[in-house]
A and B are shown apart, each in its own frame.
Chain A
Amino acid sequence: MKSAILVFPGINRERDMARALRLVSGRQPAMVWHAETSLPEGTDLVVVPGGFSYGDYLRCGAIAARAPVMDAVRAFASRGGLVLGVCNGFQILCESGLLPGILMRNARLKFICHDVHLRVERSDTPFTRGYNAGQVIRVPVAHGEGNYAADEETVRRLEGEGRVLYRYCSPSGEIGDTHNINGAAQSIAGIINERGNVLGMMPHPENHVEDVMGCTDGRGLFAGLVAHLERAA
């Protein structure tokens, strides 16, 4: 799997992401500066990592979403290329129009930084094939604006089309207000686009990939992508 990680000023999770990708795929990802107008030849996966691009000025992800490299990412996605956005990356994908909706300030206004449980809603996508449907995984979150919001029609479509891949839940997989850490619509933690090749999620799977991290539940996402691409090849 040949991956490319976008780098914007203020991003700070790109090295965690690179380490996770190298560990699971065995290949060193390319780091692509925001001012670039193309992606490296043969890129299989583009990752928009977490952090605070442009200091979260204006709206989280708003300025990064208009960077030159994003036109290349849009073209890549429209050809069916795989795009993964984590945390600020999810915000950037929403602001760029690659995913619907927006991430609002957390309902209880606090920056949330701890492990959460996620229910994997289906396993038949490139981003979840490393898991079983209904499986509960534990990964960290670290965000102040992760409260997914969209108009009712959009949320209905996401649900109807099975585009919610990850949802905040209890350790045993129950969904409800007490487990919905940031107030997101339908406890949404991660969604895909209509075509199914772009995923945005608030939690950080890249931070749970090695034993030293205390948990390896995040590995499945990357391993699933590798398996998907190997099968497609």
Chain B
Amino acid sequence: MKARVTVTLKTGILDPQGKAIEDALKSLGVDGIASVRQGKVFDIELAGADKAKAEAVLKAAADKLLANTVIENYRVEVLG
């Protein structure tokens, strides 16, 4: 079973990397971009097939390691 954990910075946390990317896009002439925030995506292959259990596993993974909840939010998706 495949799953995805997406980690994003919380609102209000300064993101200098996102800002640099935003500025680079603007200097490349890509119009219509208001702002950029950078995050991380983890594509995970799960060992079991139980969907409810999978969500608990992913949540534990995110809480214990993948995200630092001081500054980051995360979203888990079981893709099937």
Contact = CB atoms under 8 A, between A and B. Distances in A.
Contacts of B71: 102, 104, 149
Interface string A102-131: 101111110000000000000000000000
Contacts of B78: none
Interface stretch (A40-48, A58-66, A72-80, A81-89): A58-66
B70 interface: yes
Interface residues of B, number: 11
Interface in A128-161: 147, 149-151
A95 interface: yes
Interface string B21-65: 000000000000000000000000000000000000000000011
Question: Dominant SS at the A interface?
Answer: loop
A56 to B, nearest CB: 14
Contacts of B14: 104, 107, 147, 149, 183
Contacts of A149: 13-14, 71
A105 B66 contact: no
Interface residues of A, number: 20
Contacts of A150: 70
Nearest to B71: A102
A108 B71 CA distance: 19
Given A59-B68, A102-B68, 8 more contacts: A58-B65, A66-B64, A100-B70, A104-B14, A104-B16, A105-B16, A150-B70, A183-B14
